[in-house]
Structure 1
Amino acid sequence: MAGRNHLFIPGPTNTPHEVLSAMHLPMEDHRSPIFPDLFKPILADLKKIFRTETGQCFVFPATGTAGWEVALTNCLNPGDKVLIYRFGQFSHLWIEMAKRLGFTVEFHEVEWGKGIPLDDLEARLKADTGHEIKAVLATHNETSTGVTSDIGGVRKALDAANHPALLFVDGVSSIASIEFRHDDWGVDAAISGSQKGFMLPAGAAILAFSQKALAAASTSTYPRAFLSLQDQINTNKDGYTPYTPSTPMLHGLRKSLELLLAEGIDNIYARHHRLAEGVRRAVAAWGLEICAQPGFESDTVTAIVVPADKDAREVISIAFKKYNISLGAGLSEVSGKVFRIGHIGDMNDVSLLGAIAGVEMALLDSGIAIQPGSGVGAALEYYRATA
């Protein structure tokens, strides 16, 4: 098929040409005297993205999933209790990881389409008078359902309960795209990945830790090796890494940070919100619904519910095979019920209008009754009015 594949999944996201070019370079000595000139500024600029002045950032040659494990095994002790709400596939996977690592996991089911219930969280924390809960695991942006939770509200619940639990946040599909304030929200460990808002290939777990979390890490007895924070701390201070890094990834991250900071972090938040709102208006014009309930809508991914007698997998297949467009599939409990449009990273108005047009064709070919051009028209008018 002529033309390139159009990537509209919530990760990996589209990588800008400037970033690809920055990664295309000969291999180099990661122990050379000049390597710190690359690495130290990356760690400093990451703090601007996470919005932390007092925290410390790290880059592991791994993925966001490994970042979950870094937080759990470095800051907690074997058997510690963690509290988490399950409302999508990725919060589910974090639960399963914590169980397999031997932690005591208390999880509460929430309807998929909603996020963390703050009143329930506050009540549970107040009931934990013995402070058995050592960490709250909060999925900021649940990619599988297009749901965003209020992390500032989670911090308020912890403070209202006067609870000392650490706050770990899965920000894999939110950081560098959706508003995130590490210091203001009292986040102790924030986990992201290179393939989402940072617009890179998968392969880097990018994290920020508070001083409280680092203090906990200094006394943790949980066994760890490759994912040790202390090994990173010992070498990062001099601008090096404890083991061989992916130098092309770091050069790409350097360029990505330059692009993000040049645009301005508040402008990035506003751009993602505006692009997402155009998609939501297109969905409404089609007469369809999104998975996220009011107040929980994500600005990086929209999960669209197909009619009960239709299969979202057919929409995805037609979009890919006939129109060369990649859409996100429904996962686990919403498999076949939703398809997802990712609007994260290197996106603009025309990008999303192309996605919406392609989805319209796939919907019509799937026998889903929509008015041709209705979604494109609704998004087009919104983008024009807000440009």
Structure 2
Amino acid sequence: MAGRNHLFVPGPTNTPHEILSAMHVPMEDHRSPIFPKLLSPILEDLKKVFRTEAGQCFVFPATGTAGWEVAMTNCLNQGDKVLIYRFGQFGHLWAEASRKLGFDVEIHQVEWGKGMPLDHLEARLKEDKNHEIKAILATHNETSTGVTSDIPGVRKALDAASHPALLFVDGVSSIGSIDFRQDEWGVDASIAGSQKGFMLPAGLAILGFSQKALAAIDNSNFPRSFFSLKDMAASNKDGYTPYTPSTPMLYGLRKALELLLEEGMENVYARHHRLGEGVRRAVAAWGLQTCAQAGWDSDTVTAIVVPADKDARHVISTAYSKYNISLGAGLSEVAGKVFRIGHVGDMNDVSLLGAIAGVEMAMLDNGFDIKPGSGVAAAIEYYRSTAK
């Protein structure tokens, strides 16, 4: 098929040419005297993206899933109680990972399409008089349903209950794309991945830790080696890593940070909101609903619910085979019920208009009762009226 595949999944995201070019480097000695000139500025600039001055950032040659394990095994002990709300596939997977690691996982089920229930959380924390709950595991942006939770509200619930639990946040599909403020929100461990807002291939777990979380390491007896924060911090202090890093990925991260900081994080957040709103207006013009209920909309991915007599997998298959567009599939409980349009990373108005047009064609081919061009027209009017 002529032309390229158009990637509109919520991760991995499109990698800009500038980043691909930056990664195209010969191998080099990661123990050389000049290597700290690459790594040390990266760790400092990451703090600007995580919005932390008091905290410390780390990069592991791994994935966001591994980032969960880094946070938990360094700051907690096996058998510790952790609290998590399950309102999507990735919250579910985090809970399962916690169980496998030997934690006492307290799960509360939430209707998929909503996020963290703050009143329930505050009440549960106030019940925990003996402070048995050692950490809250909060999914900031649940990509399976297109839901963004209120992390500042989670911190307020902790403070209202005067509860000392650590706050761990999965920001894999939010950090670098959606407003995130580690210090201001009192987040103790923030977890990101390279393949979302950082616009890189998968392969890096990028984390931010508060001083409270770093201090908790001294009280943890959890077995760890590759994921040891103490080892990583000791090497990072001098600009090195405790084992062989992926130098091409670090060069790519260096360029990604330059692109994000040149645009300005507030502008990055505003761009993602605007792109997401255009997609949401297209969905409304089609007469369809998003999986996210009112007030929970994500600015990095929109999950679109298909009519009961349709299968979202057919839309995804048609879009790929006939129009060379990759869309996100519905996962677990929403498999076949939703398809997802990712609008994260290296995207602009025209990118999203292409996605909306391709989705319209695929839906029409599958017998959806929509007016051709309706979603495209709604998005065009919004993007035109808000363009600067």
TM-score (norm: length of structure 1): 1.00
The match for 2:126 is 126
- What pairs up with 1:146-295 in 2 under 5 angstroms? 146-295=146-295
The match for 1:24 is 24
The match for 2:112 is 112
The match for 1:358 is 358
Q: Secondary structure of the residue that 1:207 maps to in structure 2?
A: strand
Q: Please list the CA deviations of residues 332-369 of structure 1 after superposition, one character each: whole Å capped at 9, or x if unmatched.
A: 00000000000000000000000000000000001111
Distance 1:233 1:58 in 2: 8
The match for 2:341 is 341
Distance 2:366 2:280 in 1: 20
- Please state how far the C-alpha of 1:218 moved relative to its aligned partner: 2.0
TM-score (norm: length of structure 2): 1.00
Letter in 2 for 1:298: S
Distance 2:322 2:270 in 1: 33
What is the RMSD of the two structures over their aligned residues, measured on CA atoms? 0.3
Letter in 1 for 2:378: A
Whether 1:386 aligns to 2:371 is no
- Please state how far the C-alpha of 1:46 moved relative to its aligned partner: 0.1
Q: Please list the CA deviations of residues 147-201 of structure 1 after superposition, one character each: whole Å capped at 9, or x if unmatched.
A: 0000000000000000000000000000000000000000000000000000000
The match for 1:303 is 303
The match for 1:330 is 330
Distance 2:258 2:101 in 1: 37
Q: Please list the CA deviations of residues 27-70 of structure 1 after superposition, one character each: whole Å capped at 9, or x if unmatched.
A: 01100000000000000000000000000000000000000000
Whether 1:145 aligns to 2:153 is no
- Please state how far the C-alpha of 1:375 moved relative to its aligned partner: 0.2
Whether 1:100 aligns to 2:100 is yes
Whether 1:368 aligns to 2:368 is yes
Q: Secondary structure of the residue that 1:184 maps to in structure 2?
A: helix
Q: Secondary structure of the residue that 2:182 maps to in structure 1?
A: coil
Letter in 2 for 1:338: V
Unmatched runs of 5 consecutive residues or more in structure 1: none
Letter in 1 for 2:164: P
- Please state how far the C-alpha of 1:100 moved relative to its aligned partner: 0.5
Whether 1:68 aligns to 2:68 is yes
Residues 253-262 or 217-226, more deviating = 217-226
- Please state how far the C-alpha of 1:219 moved relative to its aligned partner: 1.9
The match for 1:46 is 46
- Please state how far the C-alpha of 1:78 moved relative to its aligned partner: 1.1
Q: Secondary structure of the residue that 1:336 maps to in structure 2?
A: coil
The match for 2:83 is 83
Off by >3 Å, runs of 4+ in structure 1: none
Corresponding residue pairs, total:
387
Q: Secondary structure of the residue that 2:259 maps to in structure 1?
A: helix
Letter in 2 for 1:47: K
Q: Please list the CA deviations of residues 48-106 of structure 1 after superposition, one character each: whole Å capped at 9, or x if unmatched.
A: 00000000000000000000000110000110000000000000000000001000000
Distance 2:294 2:267 in 1: 24
Distance 2:309 2:355 in 1: 24
Distance 2:36 2:202 in 1: 23
Distance 1:52 1:126 in 2: 28
Q: Secondary structure of the residue that 1:138 maps to in structure 2?
A: strand
Q: Secondary structure of the residue that 1:183 maps to in structure 2?
A: helix
Q: Secondary structure of the residue that 1:227 maps to in structure 2?
A: coil
Distance 2:365 2:216 in 1: 55
The match for 1:59 is 59
Distance 2:203 2:232 in 1: 17
- Please state how far the C-alpha of 1:222 moved relative to its aligned partner: 0.5
Letter in 2 for 1:212: K
Distance 2:44 2:234 in 1: 16
Distance 2:28 2:306 in 1: 50
Unmatched runs of 5 consecutive residues or more in structure 2: none
Distance 1:2 1:228 in 2: 47
Q: Please list the CA deviations of residues 261-290 of structure 1 after superposition, one character each: whole Å capped at 9, or x if unmatched.
A: 000000000000000000000000000000
Distance 2:217 2:365 in 1: 54
